[in-house]
Amino acid sequence: MIYNKFFQVLKNEGLEKIEAVGNEFDPQEHEAMMMQNVDSIEHHNRIINVFQEGYRLRGRLIRPSRVVVGKFEENKEEAETTSGKN
């Protein structure tokens, strides 16, 4: 109850949480803690998970979000078979 009240007071003063999951990685707002391989190109350079939430106060960055970023790498075997068919 105290945490919720405190957070509400900060929110009224202009504090906002940075929504990160699913968004594209932005080094101005996010700190990449690690990269994780993903299966689809749509998730490349997108945020998969958040280790620590980031916050802005009146539009200024207070703390960046610490995140896991997706990295898509095409398998070399698949690339060779698809290029060999052409």
Digitized pLDDT (tens) for each residue of the chain, 86 residues in all: 898 999 899 999 999 999 889 889 988 999 999 998 888 888 888 999 999 999 999 989 999 999 999 998 887 555 555 555 55
- Whether residue 63 lies inside any domain: the answer is yes
Nearest Cα residue to 65 out of 76, 55, 79: 55
Cα–Cα distance for residue pair 56/19, rounded to 1 Å = 11
Residue 83: the pLDDT is 56
Q: Is residue 35 part of a domain?
A: yes
Cα separation of 66 and 26, whole Å? 11
The type of residue at 77 is E
The domain total for the chain is 1
* Residue type for position 70: G
The CATH number assigned to the domain holding 14 equals 2.30.22.10
